[in-house]
Structure 1
Amino acid sequence: MGTDFLEHYRGKMISLDEPTLLYEESDHRIYWLGIEEETAFRCNVYLICSGEEYILIDPGSRQYFEQVKRRVAQVVDPNKINALILCHQDPDVAASMVDWLELNPAITIISSARTNVLLPHYGRSDYTFYDIADHMQYSFKNGKKLRFIEAPFLHFPGAFTTYDETSAFLFSGDIWAALDTDWELLSSDFETHKLNMDLFHVDYMASNIAARGFVRRLDGITLKGILPQHGSIFSEKDVPLALEYLKNLRCGLDIVYADLS
C-alpha cells in the first residue's frame, strides 16, 4: 500500500528549493518539480520514478530547463531520464524537449500523433516517438503502468491525460489548470479556486461538449488526485467537485456562438 502525501500539503507552503514528494510505494515515487518563479502561469512539472525508469511529465519551456534539470538532479542523474510525456505541443509544456534530447538523445517522446506533427518545429525530429494511440498505456519494467486517456479539444485536438494506476493520480495537462498569483500546491478552497480555473478554461477550452465527453471517459476510474500543468493540485477530497466543474463548464464556442445554442 502506497503513501499519498497530497493532503499533507493542504494549507502549507512548500519549499521551492527542492522536489516535493507526492506519492511513494516501494520503488514507485511521484514528485512535483515545478518552477521557482512566482507567476500566474506557473508550470507544474512532474517526475515519475518507477524502478530504474524515470519519466518527466510536461517538462516545460526552455526558459526553465536549467531549473527543472537541477530539481531532477536532486532525485536522479538527469542523464537517466528515459522519457518525456507531452500532453500537447504548446511551448510551456513541450519546448524543453530539445534540451532534454541534447542531454540524452535516447529519450523517448510519448505523445499523440497530432502533437508529434508539430513537435519537430522546436528544432529536431531525430527522436524515438511513442504514439499513445498505438498503445494507450505504458508499462514500466517493474510492472507498474500508466494509462493514456484522450481529451480531444481540451484544448488541442490531440490532447490527452496520463493516469498512473499505482497512485490513482491523473496528470491532466491543461484540464483543471488555473491562473493564480496566490499559488499553493494543493487547492485548499475549491469554490475560490474555481474562479482561477475560469480564467483559463473559459478562453482556452473548446466547449461544454468536449468537457462532458472527457468526464464520461473517466467513468469507473478511481481518482485519488488530479495534477494539472498549471495552478494547484486536487486531492481525492476535491475530485467530485472537479468533475462537476467540467460537467457544468461553459467555455469557448459555447460563449462565442451563444446565439446558436
Structure 2
Amino acid sequence: MQGTRKVTDDIVWVGCNDRRLALFENLFPIPRGVSYNSYLIMDEKVALMDTVDASVTGQFMENLEYVLAGRGIDYLVVQHMEPDHCANIEELMKRYPDMQVVANTKTVQMIHQFFDVESDGRVTLVKEGDTLSTGEHTLRFVMAPMVHWPEVMVTYDEKDKILFSADAFGTFGALDGNIFNDEIDFEKDWLSEARRYYSNIVGKYGVQVQSLLKKAAALDVAMICPLHGPVWRSSLGFFIDKYDKWSRYEPEEDSVVLIYGSIYGHTEAAVNSLACRLADAGVKGIKVYDASSTHVSDLIAEIFRCSHVVLACATYNGGIYPPIENLLSDMKALSVQKRTVALMDNGTWAPAAGRMIVKRLEEMKDITVLEQLSIKSVLREDRAEDLETFARKIVEAM
C-alpha cells in the first residue's frame, strides 16, 4: 500500500519513514525515527529528486509505481550521494533503462565508488547555473559543496519556486502524514530536533552554509523541500533565520547551559546550586545536563542554542572526566565558536581538569573563558560567597 502526498498539482512526495532505526549514521539517537524524502515531478518528462535509504526500498518502489501508474522515469536528479539518499540508484537504472542520471562530476565519481554500474550514455552532467526542462518545469542547479559533502547541489524549480535543498533545512524525526510545516507545531515539537540535526550533521560547515544562503537569497523561493523532515511552504523566514544564526555560530538565546561530569554527585550538587543562583539573578532558559547520561549530540545542540556555557568536571585519572573530554572533542570537530565558557573543576587531592579544559578550549575559535571555580571534594557552605561571585560574573558577562 502506497503512502504519498501531493506537494503541488504535479509534484508528489514519494518519501518514506523509518521508525525502527535507533541510530542515525549509527551514531545519533533518533527516538522519533527519520524521514527520507524524495519527490516526483510529473511533467511531460518525469523527474525524480533523489532516492531513499536501503532500509525502506520496498515502500519506496511501491510509492513510485503508484504515482507513475505505468509511466517511466526520464530523469533521476542526484543532489547528494550519502547512502540514505542514493541507495536505490543502481536498482532504478535497471528498472528504467531509458532514465538519465542528472549529476555533477563529483557525484558521478561517487556513483562509481558506491555502485558497479555502466554510466556511458546514462548521465547528464550539470554544473552551476545549468538548467533542465521537463516541460512546464525548468530546474536550475546550484552547487552547494560541503553542505555537507563535497558533491552536494540543490535544485530550484523556476515554475513553482521550489528549492529542493538536499540535506539543508533537514530535521530528525519521522513524518506522521503531516508533511508540511503548517500542519504541525514546528517550534514546539520539531525545533529541538532541527537544531540537533543542524549542529551535529552540518554544524562544522557554517561558512559553506552561509554561501548557500546567499545563493538562495537571490532566488524567489516559495517552498523548501529538504531530504529529511517537513516541507516548508509558509513562514520560510523563521527557519532561514535559524540557519543563518546557526551557520554564523550566533546563539539563539542569551541563556546558560550547565553541563557536568560528576562521579559521586558532589560536582552535580555544586552545579545545581549554581543554577539556582543564576535563576535568582533573572536568567531564563537555563538547562542542566549530566554528560554521562545525555547523548553528546544533545549537548552540542544546547551549546548552539545558548550564549553561555558552564562546564563542570571532576578530575579523573589525573585528567578530564571522559564524557566531558568527549564533549570537548565534538565541540572542536563541529567548529563551536562565539561562546563564553565558565569552568568548575573538582578534585579531592589534585584538581587538574580545569586547566586541561582551558587548554582544550584555547584550541577552538573565538571562545571566551570567563572564570574558574575550583572545588576540593565538596562545595561547602563557607564557600557560598565564592559561588555567588562566580554566578554574578556569568550574569554580568551576559
TM-score (ref. length: structure 1): 0.83
CA contact 1:58–1:86 (8 Å) conserved in 2: yes
SS at match of 2:8: strand
- Report the CA distance between 1:19 and its aligned residue: 2.2
The equivalent of 1:76 in structure 2 is: 68
Q: Is the CA contact 2:137–2:159 (under 8 Å) kept in the aligned structure 1?
A: yes
Judged with a 3 Å threshold, the aligned counterparts in structure 2 of structure 1 residues 227 and 238 are, in CA distance, closer, same or farther, namely same
The structure-2 alpha-carbon separation of the partners of 1:135 and 1:203, relative to structure 1 and needing over 3 Å to count, comes to: same
User: Relative to structure 2, which stretch is displaced further, 184-193 or 161-170?
Assistant: 184-193
Residue-by-residue CA offset, 1:83-122 (whole Å, 9 max, x unaligned) = 2111111111111001101112221111221121111133
Gap change, CA 1:166 and 1:91, over 3 Å in 2: same
Structure 1 residue ranges (4+ consecutive) displaced by more than 4 angstroms after TM superposition: none
Contact 2:50–2:86 (Cα < 8 Å) also in 1? yes
- For residues 55 and 94 of structure 2, the distance between their equivalents in structure 1, rounded to whole angstroms, comes to 15
Number of residue pairs matched by the alignment? 239
Q: Distance in 1 between matches of 2:239 and 2:11?
A: 21
CA distance, structure 1, for counterparts of residue 116 and residue 107 of structure 2: 14
Question: Structure 2 vs 1, CA of residues 18 and 42 (structure 1 numbering), >3 Å: closer, same or farther?
Answer: closer
* SS across alignment from 1:234: coil
Task: Give the letter aligned to residue 35 of structure 1.
Answer: C
Q: Distance in 2 between matches of 1:135 and 1:105?
A: 27
Query: Is the CA contact (8 Å cut-off) linking 2:171 and 2:228 kept in structure 1?
Result: yes
- Is it true that 1:245 corresponds to 2:242 in the alignment? yes
Unpaired segments ≥5 residues, structure 2: 21-32, 250-303, 305-332, 338-360, 367-398
Match of 2:347 in 1: none
Q: Deviation digits for residues 125-170 of structure 1, max 9, x if unmatched?
A: 3122222217621112x25200111112110112111111111111
Q: Look up the equivalent residue of 2:133 and give its one-letter code.
A: S
> 2:141 is paired with a residue of what secondary structure?
strand
Highest RCO, 1 vs 2 (Cα 8 Å, sep ≥ 6): 1
**What is the 5 A alignment of 1:219-230?**
219-230=217-228
1:182–1:96 CA distance, 2 compared to 1 (3 A):
closer
Determine what percentage of the aligned residue pairs are the same residue: 18
- Aligned partner of 1:34 in structure 2 is 15
1:110 matched to 2:110: no
Establish whether residue 121 from structure 1 lines up as the match of residue 119 from structure 2. no
Q: What's the CA shift for 1:79?
A: 6.0
| SS at 1:260 equivalent | coil
Question: What is the distance in 2 between the residues matched to 1:201 and 1:135?
Answer: 26
Aligned to 2:209: 211
Aligned-residue CA RMSD in angstroms? 2.3
Bigger radius of gyration among the two: 2
Structure 2 residue corresponding to 1:130, chosen from 124, 130, 136: 124
Query: Is the 1:65–1:99 contact (alpha carbons within 8 Å) kept by the matching residues of 2?
Result: no
Asked if residue 172 in structure 1 is aligned to residue 165 in structure 2, the reply is yes
| Structure 2: distance between partners of 1:124 and 1:245 | 40
Say if 2:152 is the partner of 1:159: yes
Letter matched to residue 203 of structure 1 = N
- The answer for unaligned runs of 5 or more in structure 1 is 1-15
Post-superposition Cα deviations, 1:186-238, rounded to whole Å, max 9, x if no partner, equal 12334232211122111221322112111100123111111111111111x22
Q: Is contact 2:47-2:76 (8 Å) kept?
A: yes
Partner Cα distance (1:181, 1:65) in 2: 16
2:187 corresponding residue in structure 1: 191
Once residues 135 and 148 of structure 1 are traced to their aligned partners in structure 2, the CA distance between those partners, rounded to angstroms, is 5
Deviations 1:31-80 (A, max 9, x none): 011115435222011111112x1111111123323322211222224661
Counterpart contact for 1:113–1:131, Cα < 8 Å: yes
CA distance, structure 1, for counterparts of residue 17 and residue 200 of structure 2? 26
Higher mean C-alpha deviation, range 107-116 or range 62-71: 62-71
Cα pair 1:98 1:122 within 8 Å, conserved: no
